[in-house]
Structure formats: C-alpha cells, structure tokens
Amino acid sequence: MAMTQKLRLDPTACTGHGLCADLLAERIELDEWGFPIILGDVPPGLAAHARRAVRTCPALALELLPPEDDSRHDPREERARHRGHDS
C-alpha cells in the first residue's frame, strides 16, 4: 500500500510568495491574499514535486512530513489517556 505524505505550512513564516502553488498546484492553492492553502495529503506520484516546493520556499514555511510522522492526534490514544491507560 502506497503511503501519502503531509505538507505542513507555518503560517507565521509564510510571506505569500506563491512559489509553492506554482510548483504543486495539485495540492496547494492561494487564497485571496496570495497565501497558500494545503488541499490534502501528497500521494507518492507528487512527492518529488512536493519536495521541490519545500526546497524552493524562500521563507522556509513548508515542510513535508514523512508518512510515519502524523502530528495529528489519534483519537484512540486520547481516549486511552482519559481512561488512565497512559499515565
């Protein structure tokens, strides 16, 4: 099974150059002020384009997370903590 990767944007670092949207239009669009909106995970077929967008960002505001690094909270872990399984 092919694993997708996630793009993470640091909105405080982004200065709205828009290069990322030019290089990865399939997953990044610009809002009305020219700042990027991430449209979803990056499938393996777009990974090279995503890496290029990350490298090209002049503000270093984009990061491509490896497939195993999911920074979102897993609801199962949260429930386990509330039940006292994770002290």
Residue spans per domain, the chain: 6-68
* pLDDT, mean over the chain: 85
Asked if residue 54 has pLDDT above 80, the reply is: yes
- The pLDDT, as a whole number, for residue 3 is 87
Q: Does domain 6-68 have CATH number 3.30.70.20?
A: yes
CA distance 74 to 80: 10
Q: Give the position of tokens 């200065």.
A: 15
Instruction: Note the pTM of the prediction, 2 decimals.
Output: 0.73
